Amino acid sequence: MSLKTSIISVLKPQYFWDVDFLTLNETSSSRLIIERVFTLGEVHEMNQVIGYYGRKKVFNVLSNLRYIDPKTLNFIAKLFNKPVKTFKCYKLQQSNPQHWNL
């Protein structure tokens, strides 16, 4: 079985609770797949996604997301050996600071 033909079959349907998992397309839903696996998935699933889509495409998708939680952002920055300042979500967070936490 080739990794190229089985990326959907190795993903957990729980990551895609709000879409029809059976009609998920690897090509047209690549941004959704990458985002969900990196925010909700395990390391071996992240490696499978990187193996399927390639490091460059995965990094491009992740760097253009509007929101990534801080822990995941730090993990992704270390994984791709990039500073957190290169991610769009970091720039947006810095430009919209909260006044205080209650």
For 25-39, what is each residue's pLDDT tens digit?
888 889 999 999 999
Kindly list the domain boundaries of the chain, sorted by start residue.
3-95
Instruction: Please enumerate, as own/partner, the contacts of 4-11 that have beta carbons within 8 Å and a separation of 24 or more.
Output: 4/52, 7/33, 7/48, 7/49, 7/52, 8/33, 10/45, 10/48, 11/37, 11/41, 11/45
pLDDT of residue 33: 94
Range with lowest mean pLDDT among 49-53, 81-85, 89-93: 89-93
**Once rounded to an integer, what is the mean pLDDT over residues 60-86?**
91
Structure confidence at residue 101 as a pLDDT band (50, 70, 90) = low
Angstrom distance (rounded) from CA 84 to CA 65: 13
pLDDT of 81 over the 80 cut: yes
**Sequence letter at residue 46:** M
- When pLDDT is cut at 50, 70 and 90, the band that residue 99 belongs to is low
